[in-house]
Structure 1
Amino acid sequence: MTDPVKPIYLPAIENPEQEREWLKQGLKHWLDAEFIPEKVNHDIARQAAQIFVRQRLEGENDLGALVVAIITEMQAFDFSESFYGEFAIANAVSDLILDSLGYDRCCGQ
């Protein structure tokens, strides 16, 4: 039997504005590089970063729960001018966070 995936807990938020800006810039860069730069990418990145930091300020530090919150709340975002959707955005946020923490994302490691 395989072991369940262990949750990843982020350290408590210390500088919300810095974390918001870092995530917004990183996500926008990822969005622009992944396909094509679009004006809406800025709005997507801003909204996802706001959700992420608000959740963190409310005490949520479990990365999995943060991803679910981004998926849930980004469903209200109008993605009609984008090639992306809420799942791609939440996964990209997770990847950026895991990279910043030094996790190897390859092959479920």
Structure 2
Amino acid sequence: MDVPINPIILPPANNPEKEKNWLQKSLHKWLNEEFITEEINRDIAERTAQVFMRQRMEGENDLGCLMIAIIIEMKSFDFSESFYGEFEIANSVSDLLVKSLDFDKYCGQ
């Protein structure tokens, strides 16, 4: 019998602006290190952090829902000058958040 995977629920956002700044800085660093440093990486990180902060301020704590919101809202972002797309960005945000919580992303524990 299949056992469903429990969702990853983030703690409530006590300081969304601090979370936004952390995510923007962390994502920008990741983008620059993953391939090559590009000017557009700053814009991607800034826009993604804005989406994330707004979702958190609206009370969203489910990591899966946050990823979907990032994918949907980043569809309108022009990635033509980048190696990335909305799915890579949402996945990287998920990885960054999971690492920040010391959560084992492979075992779900």
TM-score bracket for this pair, using the shorter chain length: over 0.9
Q: Percent identity?
A: 61
1:101 and 2:101 matched: yes
| Structure 2: unaligned runs, 5 residues or longer | none
- Aligned match of 2:49: 49
Runs of 4 or more, structure 1, over 4 Å off, are: none
The Cα offsets for residues 55-104 of structure 1, whole Å up to 9 and x where unpaired, read as 01001110000000000000000000000000000000000000000012
Normalising by structure 1, we get a TM-score of 0.95
* SS, match of residue 11 in structure 1: coil
Q: Pairwise mapping of residues 2-13 of structure 1 onto structure 2 (< 5 A)?
A: 2-13=2-13
Q: How many residue pairs end up in the alignment?
A: 109
Structure 1 segment 6-45 matched on structure 2, within 5 A? 6-45=6-45
Consecutive unaligned residues of structure 1, counting only runs of 5 or more, are none
TM-score (norm 2): 0.95
